[in-house]
Amino acid sequence: MSDSTKTKKYSKPSLEEIKSKLTKIQYDVTQKEATEPPFQNEFHDHEEEGIYVDIVSGEPLFSSLDKFDSGCGWPSFSKPLVVNHIVEKSDHKLFVERTEVRSRHGDSHLGHVFDDGPGPTGLRYCINSASLRFIPKEDLEKEGYADFLGLFR
């Protein structure tokens, strides 16, 4: 990864800007920690090559190369694309301990991580489609994510 990706600045826009650019479900998921319905979301069975970025801040989060079908109804990834763009927090909202996953710069609620994923990490990042924007590999350069083109060559 080049220095441009490492130093690119990502930030959370104002609440007014977020409200104006997101749909209700995108806003509820990212800002109010809602969960979209399983199997009825944009990326649960999406197979195109590219990367998934935070819909709020644009920070790169996951790659299609690490996406797998876990059968849970939400997109699942075995690892983050950029580890330091993910923040894990303890979540006790359902009276069981889970690990919430948030974007570092956008502070968007993304979903949860579980320890029942495939090797080599054994992790399953179960992510709401509504928190993501997909960038196809052929659009990476024009969208400002050229540093990730090498993943798909």
Q: Report the pLDDT value the prediction gives residue 94, as an integer from 0 to 100.
A: 63
126 part of the active site: yes
Catalytic residue among 82, 126, 135, 140: 126
Q: Report the pLDDT value the prediction gives residue 3, as an integer from 0 to 100.
A: 39
Q: Which two tokens stand for residue 66?
A: 């690490």
pLDDT band at 1, cuts 50/70/90? very low
Residue 141 has pLDDT above 90, yes or no: yes
Count other C-beta atoms under 10 Å from residue 65's C-beta.
15
Q: Which two tokens stand for residue 19?
A: 């409200």
pLDDT per residue as tens digits for the range 80-119: 999 999 999 887 676 677 899 999 999 999 999 999 999 8
**Extended beta strands in 25-151, E state:** 50-54, 60-63, 67-68, 76-77, 86-91, 98-103, 109-114, 124-127, 132-136
Q: How far apart are CA 113 and CA 116, in angstroms?
A: 9
pLDDT per residue as tens digits for the range 17-76: 999 999 999 999 999 999 999 999 999 999 999 999 999 999 999 999 999 999 999 999
DSSP string for 128-153: -GGGEEEEEGGGTTTTT-GGGGGGG-
Residue 4 has pLDDT above 80, yes or no: no
